[in-house]
Amino acid sequence: MNIPVEGFMYPNEVELQWSILIVLYPFITGLVAGAFILASLERVFRVEAVKPTYRLALLTALSFLLVAPLPLQLHLGHPERSLEMYLTPHRSSAMAMFGFVYLWYLMAVLLLEIWLDFRLDIVIKSQTTTRVTRLIYRALTLGSDNISERSLHIDERLGYFITVIGIPSAFLLHGYVGFIFGSIKANPWWSSPLMPIVFIFSAMVSGIAAVMLLYMVTTRLRGRDIDIRCLDKIAQYLFYIFMIDFSLEMLDLLQRVYEADESFRSLDFMVHTRLWTSQVIIQILIGTVTPITLLGLTQILKLTEAARKRIYALAGCLTVIGIFAMRWNVVIGGQLFSKSFLGYTTYKMAFATREGLLTAIALLILPFIILSVLVKLLPPWPDAGPVPAPGAIEPRNQLTPVLRG
Amino acid sequence: MDITRRRLLILLPAAAIAWKFVQAGTPESSPNYILAEHWWGMLIDIPKCIGCGSCVRACAEENDVPDGYYRTWIERYHVADWKIERPEVESPNGGKQGFPPNEIGDGKNFFVPKLCNHCVDSPCTQVCPVGATFVTPDGVVLVDKSYCLGCRYCVQACPYGCRFINPKTNTAEKCTLCYHRITKGLTTACCEVCPTGARQLADLKNPKDPIHDFLKTHTVQVLKPHMATGAKVFYNGMDGSVR
């Protein structure tokens, strides 16, 4: 073990405990929470303009949520014991609740909402497709193939109700991740009551930006026109939420600078040296100030449609990079300094190991693979609504004009 | 098979030897040890520590601590004049082989042995997601390595840097206050070998323990009292620069 150390570290502190995989964990759960919040804009708050992204946002949230526990599982010293967190949770532990929060969000919110929303499509496909595909869709109906007007109305009401529950659940999911860090009093870089709130807002920022980008890319790939009204609305929300997020982070910074407690000198030095590139340059300048300025310009100036699209694409990419850098700076930055405040260690990222860069890249690609399967199975495109072949639907399940797009 | 007198004479010693082997694999019982009668801590007398590293070596040997990790270690402080907020601290190899001669001139130098503080309100116990870390009824913080997930949350939560992940077991590890010894009426390995008596195991529930007289007559501190962990390792003569 040859890790460069500057100053004095307690001997057991030299090696970092949480690697890039733990950076991925809040990043991925943040995307989930943010994507869901975007979906809820249409469902609960009736922001009709963002409707084209509604279903895509739900599937994106599911794709990332399915991958969310993997970095944790790979990181554990004994992954085979991880079920103990469900069986014998330690009630005083912030981490012990992860499994329950995760399951609640996955099973009670996301899967249920997606199923209710796509049930009509699934039922139609289970009756219009053949062979293996038919079997898959039949399984997905879960035996519920009633698509009468009344049944669809129940789906709609129930879906609405679940989305209403889903909003605080999304906040809980990511606020909880923030609490895991914010409640560690031994670590002044993490310990802050603002941490869960900052995590929630940064989650919304990253999730909205990611879905916006996905919408642009997938629409382009499908050879369709991007709904600029939808994009404008999403960008507007992104801008407002980003402003709140940035203000909260600056408030936290201001508090730390003004208070200048015993840890301040050490943390300040760290930001000016080891974290300068990842925090000041990438997170703040490139990943926050630049996209906020770009999005702000689109709110103030009257730009052409093409210019706005380019700006949104650029701002979206920079935002996602900035939020990733934020997660990196929280997780890795919080371990680079000694709790004696007298020294600094270095994070040496491995490459092809269980917790290495290669694994992290694979884990970041995996949600997109899952998403591509999901969109094949359940096309979320507004223009790909259920259009049954004439006479294909069984008489007892007559389609009615109430179909949602 | 008939048991003849001749065969019995051969079998008995063999059975006795076999029984010895069985006993060797069985943990020693401590029939006279009553958990509720003890509350363990430690006293560290900083002016007495000479930084020889015997305690670190004894601990590593007694508890099979892997190289590069420390259940206990020694820090050497150098404080120049009034700059107690910026001490110069070193702990080469945890002080296991002692310290090279001090080449820093002006100022004061002293050694500070460190170990788990066996906190009453230990943050590591609080955060363990499965309760693999726990406080025993006699006040020792232990880790059940057959249960630990290796999530490392406890390592992050310890304000004193006392925990590490044992690369052999992939579980959290720390000072056990030589629980296997103290429950047999022995002292810890580090206290046993300390040539100057700078480390003293303390039973805070035993009214006859000399710790009580010491605490009443000396100015003692715990590390990072603002963390409010209820640390039970008491330091005599600790400078304000120690963290």
Q: Are B91 and A81 inside 8 Å of each other by CB?
A: no
Q: Are A17 and B114 inside 8 Å of each other by CB?
A: no
Between strands B133-135 and B141-143, the pairing is antiparallel
Kindly indicate the confidence band of residue B48, based on its pLDDT and cuts at 50, 70 and 90.
Answer: very high
- Coil vs helix vs strand at B109: strand
Cα distances (Å, whole numbers) of residue A170 to A74, A214, A321: 24, 20, 22
- Coil vs helix vs strand at A60: helix
pLDDT digits (tens, 9 = 90+) for A91-134: 999 999 888 999 998 888 999 999 999 999 999 999 999 899 99
Q: Which residues of B touch A82 (CB under 8 A)?
A: 149
Q: What ranges do the domains of chain B cover? A: 35-236
Nearest Cβ partner of B162 from A9, A12, A340? A12
Tell me, which fold does domain B35-236 have in CATH? Alpha-Beta Plaits (3.30.70)
Interface of A with B (CB under 8 A): 1, 8-13, 15, 17-18, 72, 75-78, 81-82, 84-85, 88-90, 92-96, 98, 180, 184-187, 335, 338-342
Kindly indicate the confidence band of residue B1, based on its pLDDT and cuts at 50, 70 and 90.
Answer: low
Kindly indicate the confidence band of residue A291, based on its pLDDT and cuts at 50, 70 and 90.
Answer: very high
The string of DSSP codes covering A344-372 is E------SSSTTSHHHHHHHHHHHHHHHH
pLDDT at A46: 87
User: What percent of chain A lies above the pLDDT cut of 90?
Assistant: 87
| Closest CA of chain B from A92, distance in Å | 5
Q: Are B87 and A94 inside 8 Å of each other by CB?
A: no
Cα distances (Å, whole numbers) of residue B109 to A7, A343, B75, B85: 17, 19, 10, 15
CB pairs under 8 A between A and B: 118
Domains of chain A: 22-252+354-391 (1.20.1630)
pLDDT value at B18 more than 80: no
pLDDT value at A397 more than 50: no
Substitution target in A14, A22, A78 with the highest count of B β-carbons within 10 Å is A78
Kindly indicate the confidence band of residue A395, based on its pLDDT and cuts at 50, 70 and 90.
Answer: very low
Would you give the distance in Å from CA B46 to the centre of its chain? 16
| Closest CA of chain A from B165, distance in Å | 8
Buried b (16+ CB within 10 A) or exposed e, A161-172: ebbeebbebbbb
Q: Which residues of A touch B162 (CB under 8 A)?
A: 12
Q: Are B128 and A98 inside 8 Å of each other by CB?
A: no
Kindly indicate the confidence band of residue B241, based on its pLDDT and cuts at 50, 70 and 90.
Answer: very high
Q: Which residues of A touch B56 (CB under 8 A)?
A: none
Closest chain A residue by Cα to residue B92: A11
CA angle A296, A32, A348 (to 5 degrees): 90
Token pair for A113? 């909402």
Rounded Cα distance between A159 and A157, Å, is 5
